[in-house]
Amino acid sequence: MRKTNDLILQTVTKIVSFMIFMFALHIFFAGHNNPGGGFVGGLLTSGAIVLLLLAYDLKTVAGSLPIDYKILIAVGLLFAVGTGLGSLVFDVPFLTHAHDIFTLPILGETHLHTAVLFDIGVYLVVVGTTMTIIQTIGENE
Amino acid sequence: MNASEIGEFLVVLLILIGSIISVISALGIIRFPDVYTRSHAATKSATLGVLLSLTGAFIYIWLTDHFISVRLILGILFVFITAPVSGHLIIRAAYRSHVEMTEDTVEDELKPVLNDKR
């Protein structure tokens, strides 16, 4: 088969995938007060990685993002269980969340919530699951 | 006529023109003879229609709620970048799978180039 010239698609992918990554982060952090959250953020992130997979091939993306997505699922589940178990240390029921307003050096007054840690778990599990499914189907061996 | 009325007029005009251009683009998709001319109608004018409508929505939210919606700016930029590329890819796939042009076609300049490479 002839090698095709994918210059336009690859150049646009370089710009657009970063835009999707940033928007996924925005959706993820806006999840508490606006529509969004870990699930949609994770899906958008895996969408950006799928766009990279479409423009380049499986090996190139695996070289630039050397992540084992099955391990990512495990890490996400550990995050979720860990935030649940953390509440047991303070002698409150499982999955009780805590929040407070902190004064951080650059960001100023910030409302920090342990539910974000749980959301990070959801995010990692969604990214891991989607990418595992797509990469397993995409490999033609 | 004060400033906000002029702004609202602008918003109405933008969204109206955007929707009219979208209708014209849909008419073009129905009326044009082959896939290449149809894609010309679908990518160019549909993109412009969406961009005008989004710009109208952006200005409306800015004027009424005094809120600059970064998501709408991002959406405008995103559609502007990606819609022509998607048209390009669809049409390239159509040309490479030898989709016929309309009978009125005068010249196919790409054909000798592709045949030479092969």
Average pLDDT, 10 consecutive residues per value, chain A (141 residues): 77 93 91 88 94 88 89 94 88 84 78 86 94 86 57
Q: Say whether A19 and B78 touch across the interface (CB within 8 A).
A: yes
Number of alpha helices (DSSP H) and beta strands (DSSP E) in chain A: 5, 2
Distance of alpha carbon B87 from alpha carbon B79, whole angstroms: 12
Distance of alpha carbon B35 from alpha carbon A111, whole angstroms: 54
What integer is the mean pLDDT of B14-41? 94
Give A112's strand partners: A100
Q: Is the ipTM of this complex over 0.90?
A: no
Distance of alpha carbon A105 from alpha carbon A84, whole angstroms: 28
What integer is the mean pLDDT of B64-89? 92
Give the tens place of pLDDT for each residue, B86-115.
999 999 999 988 888 888 888 888 888 777
Q: Say whether B85 and A12 touch across the interface (CB within 8 A).
A: yes
**What phi and psi, each to the nearest 5 degrees, are found at residue A112?**
-105, 140
- Give B37→chain A minimum CA distance, Å: 21
**What phi and psi, each to the nearest 5 degrees, are found at residue A101?**
-100, 125
Cα of B59 vs its chain's centroid, Å: 20
Closest-CA residue of A relative to B90 is A9
Look at residues B32, B57, B29, B31 and name the one whose alpha carbon lies nearest to residue B45: B29
Give the tens place of pLDDT for each residue, B32-57.
999 999 999 999 999 999 999 999 99
Q: Say whether B89 and A9 touch across the interface (CB within 8 A).
A: yes
Considering CB atoms only, which of A8, A15, A23 is closest to B74?
A23
pLDDT at B22: 95
% chain B with pLDDT above 70: 97
Which residues of chain A make contact with B117, given a CB cutoff of 8 A?
2
Distance of alpha carbon B63 from alpha carbon B84, whole angstroms: 30
Has residue B118 got a pLDDT over 90?
no
Arithmetic mean of pLDDT over chain B:
89
Query: How many Å from the N-terminal Cα to the C-terminal Cα in chain B?
Result: 66
